[in-house]
Amino acid sequence: MPTEALPMGILQRSSKLVQLLAERGPMSTADAAEQVGMPRPSLYRLADALTQARLIEPTPDGRLRVGLQWLRLADATRTGMTEWAGAREVLDELASATGQTVYLSVPRADRAVCIDWSRGRGVSVLALKPGRTLPLYAGAAGRVTLAFRPEPLEEYLEDAPFPPFTEHTLTGADELRADVAATRSRGYSISDEDVTPGIGALGVPLLHDGTLRGALSLGGLAGDLRANRPGFTAALQSAATRLASS
């Protein structure tokens, strides 16, 4: 491998390891090495370097987890996104009115990245949290992003079928095309146990001059979402109008 290619390779592996720990939680070095696709000695060295940079840290039982440094970096990132400066008030009001957990996500490559949330009155098993991401084929935030983003849909679907989260995950190109068409037609996405069993979500796009800026979604027990879909959708769309015009 050319010498000049090494730094980029290290950055890519570092990013993959940090992302893995952020999504999966603490992991043993052996499991992390297998998931990242690195020999254990190489991952030990990489983990040691990231520990010195305070980006990851060891747990008391010797596993690896993301470091507290990310809290400061996350706050700095959120502060720098001035277009969402007034979002927290809107998120808190929506969570209070619906009792559901509310998320603000932005599109990044082929993911929807949660940058802020307001927690509802229950359900602590929701997959999406600040700093975590969803692929565009799953979850309310991911699927509404897929439906309204400007990038060509067919380019994304070239990688289908995608790995499922549950038996309800839409993974095939044809079913995702149909879902995109339905989402565009009704103006919001419906996630019904396609990421976590028993959990549902609704998502609406945040558009400015017809261009997707982000997604606003709420999630909770699937039964509650089904029973209250019209009211929750109306509340979401009203909140999205406030955010998009801010």
The CATH number assigned to the domain holding 197 equals 3.30.450.40
What CA–CA distance (Å, rounded) separates 246 from 240? 10
| pLDDT tens for each residue of 61-80 | 989 988 766 655 555 555 55
DSSP state of 84: G
Altogether, the residues listed in the chain come to a count of: 246
Q: Is the CB of residue 30 less than 8 Å from the CB of residue 40? A: yes
Tens of pLDDT, residue by residue over 224-239, are 999 999 999 999 999 9
- Give the mean pLDDT of 128-132: 75
Task: Give the model's pLDDT for residue 209.
Answer: 86
Residues 133 and 204 in one domain: yes
| 130 pLDDT tier (thresholds 50, 70, 90) | confident
Q: Are residues 78 and 30 in the same domain?
A: no
> What is the predicted pLDDT for the residue at 181?
98
Is 27 in the same domain as 108? no
Note whether 157 and 227 are same-domain residues.
Answer: yes
Residues 80 and 63 reside in one and the same domain? no
Span 30-57, pLDDT tens digits: 999 998 888 999 999 999 988 888 888 9
> Sign of dihedral through CA atoms 18, 23, 28, 32?
negative
Percent of the chain, pLDDT > 70?
A: 86
Beta partners for 135? Answer: 111
Domain end position, chosen among 39, 67, 95? 67
149 and 204 housed in the same domain: yes
Number of domains within the chain: 2
The pLDDT-based confidence of 1 (bands split at 50, 70, 90) is very low
Q: Which residue has the tokens 């990851």?
A: 56
Angle 94-99-103 (CA atoms, 0-180°, nearest 5)?
50
Pair of tokens at residue 94 = 């929506």
| Residue 103 and residue 157 in one domain | yes
109: left (phi over 0), alpha (psi -120 to 50) or beta: left
122 and 79 in a single domain? The answer is yes
Residue 73 tokens, joined: 């970096």
Do 146 and 44 share a structural domain?
A: no
Give the pLDDT confidence score for residue 21 in this predicted structure. 83
Question: The whole model's pTM is what?
Answer: 0.72
Helix (H, G, I), strand (E, B) or coil at 198: coil
Peptide bond into 152 cis (omega under 30): no
Q: What is the dihedral of CA 65, 71, 76, 77, to 10 degrees?
A: 50
Give residue 38's domain range.
3-67
The reported pLDDT for the residue numbered 3 is 38
User: Does 162 lie in the same domain as 226?
Assistant: yes
